[in-house]
Amino acid sequence: MNAQTPLITDSITAAISAKEPSVDLIGEDAPFDASQRDFLNGLLAGISAIAAGAQQGGEVLTPMRVLYGSQSGNCEVLSKDLKKAGAGHGFGADVSALDDITPADLAEMQHVAIVVSTFGEGEPPDNAAKFYAALMADDCPPLPASLNFSVCGLGDTSYADFNKCAADIDARMAELGATRVAELVKCDVDFDDDYAEWKTTLFASESFVSAGGTAAAPVVDAEPQAMFDKNRPFMAQLLTSDRLSGEASAKCVDHIAISLAGGGADLEYAAGDALGVWPLNCPDEVRALLAAAGLTGKEIVTLKTGQSTLKAALATRLDIQTVTPKTLEDFGLEAAEGQVLEVVQAAENVGPQQLADALRPLQPRLYSISSSPKAHPGEVHLTVGEVRYDLDGRDCKGVASTYLGDRLAEGGMLGVYVQKSAHFHPPSDDTQPLIMIGPGTGIAPFRAFLEEREARGATGKNWLFFGDQHASCDYLYQDELEGWAAKDHVDLSLAWSRDGASKVYVQTLLEERGEDVFAWLEEGAAIYICGDASRMAVDVEKALLRIIAKGLNADEEAARAYLDGMAAAHRYQRDVY
């Protein structure tokens, strides 16, 4: 029963209970006695009142569905904002992930707003993959014209398949017969303004205005707006930045500890959540960019947030690495190799405002939290791999990872906020077995899970698959993990890909222990995966399907159905990037 049912019941009951019905829809010649006619007239009057109330923006809100597909959580956050906005326009919105419905379910809906990101190489996010596949299938049923919809996509213009998932869903729904009431909007990483414009256009469309009207009362937000969020970060203090990987490692991985003292309830987090970090650009890269443009940095430029010196804007406000189609267009180039520096070097007579306008805003980075608040009250920990690489002979580095690991001094301040996860948390049932697969920095949330389950006194078995290149220098959190293993808090399966004659990965160990893995699944175990989406997570899922097929003595289709069932029950979760 949904939230508006009591209102409906009250409206009908009031109309039925009235001594004289307000409308006479059941004629005297109908085959009913007087009391039956009064009852039916009252029932129909109540329904009529509900419809009128919905059209006029009364207490009864018009049903609406807000559907999202989200990998990092941004689309889920926006879907909740849409629900709140809908109430202000006379709509009572139900919010759910796209995979919670089927395309056939859409036929029963009349007002639908979809917010979906594009993941990887033009792929839908995990919680939209099944819906996307079914919608694109040749046998997908047609949709009625009474289905009024609009799609907003979140993407990244630096990728070739920019907003492909949103564009595909929008085009397919229209092709199947649904009515597009507001044009598809493709947002870049700086999505706030484009999303806000799309939302305004959606609720101003003729079909939404006529169906929803204006709410009779101001909307009371059931969840008060947080003081600290993406656009209003909390200024936290860096406590420590310690290198986890050994000197001989090909990677530099840091353990970052940040104080949340003074943040209050808005900075409360759970194991499985992510921390948003606002970085600053490297001063050396800012100086190199100014030199390439022949500018001093003292020039005044205008940003959306106001005026600033060019140097300050490049250091704190603008993405000075990513080349987008707009960057090339603003510099009059058809194509260019490299980052913004190479583009500026290839351009001619770059002006200060032209440079500022060509760059998109700097964005925060999301990191899986690697601590439990029960184990580290007032703190949050991250496990960060510093990104460093060679670009045609020029040393390049990741903005946020090297800011945290190298440039920000201990005691320094940085802007942060908590991004909640919907389902990627340790099982609420402390007796449930848990299999965790997280090589490299993918171990981050599982350190938090193990801390959390230990603090809760959970009795459920824990099994961690972890690995990297070399045991001698890439064994992150070795002392903690082996301490837990000695206390039987976790079983460890460790894969070192460069320590033997053949390469061993976590998926290798999964299949070697396949019989045991399947036995855990049959006991009700949950499986969580964190790490690289393009290779590791794909290979792990293939291994799991083979393990399940063998355990069931069935084919891949049956194994897929088994794994899909686990996902629907939130027993198969992925935090991949």
DSSP string over 107-150: TT-SEEEEEEE-BTTTBPPGGGHHHHHHHHSTTPPP--TT-EEE
Confidence (pTM): 0.85
To the nearest 5 percent, what fractions of the chain are helix, strand and coil?
40, 20, 40
With respect to residue 257, please indicate whether it lies within any of the assigned structural domains.
Answer: yes
User: Which run of H or of E encompasses 104?
Assistant: helix 103-106
pLDDT value for 334: 86
With respect to residue 221, please indicate whether it lies within any of the assigned structural domains.
Answer: no
- The model's pLDDT over 511-531, given as tens digits with 9 standing for 90+, comes to 999 999 999 999 999 999 999
Q: Examine the domain organization and report whether 50 and 30 are in the same domain.
A: yes
With respect to residue 314, please indicate whether it lies within any of the assigned structural domains.
Answer: yes
Q: Examine the domain organization and report whether 338 and 376 are in the same domain.
A: no
Burial of 303 (0-12, 13-18, 19+ CB in 10 A): middle
pLDDT value for 225: 67
With respect to residue 220, please indicate whether it lies within any of the assigned structural domains.
Answer: no
Q: Examine the domain organization and report whether 453 and 335 are in the same domain.
A: no
Domain of residue 467: give its range.
434-576
Q: Examine the domain organization and report whether 188 and 251 are in the same domain.
A: no
With respect to residue 267, please indicate whether it lies within any of the assigned structural domains.
Answer: yes
The whole-number average pLDDT for the span 221-245 is: 87
Mean pLDDT of the chain: 89
Domain's final residue, options 358, 382, 405: 358
pLDDT tops 70 at residue 30: no
* Long-range pairs, 479-487, Cβ under 8 A, ≥24: 480/447, 484/450, 484/454
CA dist., res. 222 & res. 345, Å (int): 52
- The model's pLDDT over 349-408, given as tens digits with 9 standing for 90+, comes to 899 999 999 999 999 999 999 999 999 999 999 999 999 999 989 999 999 999 999 999
% of the chain with per-residue pLDDT over 90: 81
Report yes or no: 15 and 43 within 8 Å, Cβ to Cβ. yes
* Number of separate domains in the chain: 5
Q: Examine the domain organization and report whether 76 and 181 are in the same domain.
A: yes
pLDDT value for 336: 82
Q: Which residues contact 329 (CB under 8 A, 6 or more apart)?
A: none
Q: Examine the domain organization and report whether 515 and 472 are in the same domain.
A: yes
User: How does DSSP classify residue 498?
Assistant: T
Q: Examine the domain organization and report whether 239 and 382 are in the same domain.
A: yes
pLDDT value for 11: 40
Q: Examine the domain organization and report whether 81 and 128 are in the same domain.
A: yes
Q: Examine the domain organization and report whether 497 and 563 are in the same domain.
A: yes
Nearest in space to 233 (alpha carbons), one of 208, 266, 188: 266
Nearest in space to 124 (alpha carbons), one of 158, 94, 86, 151: 151
pLDDT value for 293: 96
CA dist., res. 422 & res. 427, Å (int): 12
Q: Which CATH number characterizes residue 187's domain? A: 3.40.50.360
- The model's pLDDT over 81-97, given as tens digits with 9 standing for 90+, comes to 999 999 999 999 999 99
Q: Which CATH number characterizes residue 251's domain? A: 2.40.30.10
- The model's pLDDT over 326-366, given as tens digits with 9 standing for 90+, comes to 999 999 998 888 999 999 999 988 999 999 999 999 999 99
pLDDT value for 422: 84
- The model's pLDDT over 157-210, given as tens digits with 9 standing for 90+, comes to 988 899 999 999 999 999 999 999 999 999 999 999 999 999 999 999 999 999
Domain's final residue, options 380, 396, 419: 419
Report yes or no: 21 and 42 within 8 Å, Cβ to Cβ. yes
Q: Examine the domain organization and report whether 510 and 481 are in the same domain.
A: yes
With respect to residue 98, please indicate whether it lies within any of the assigned structural domains.
Answer: yes
Burial of 455 (0-12, 13-18, 19+ CB in 10 A): middle
Q: Examine the domain organization and report whether 313 and 456 are in the same domain.
A: no
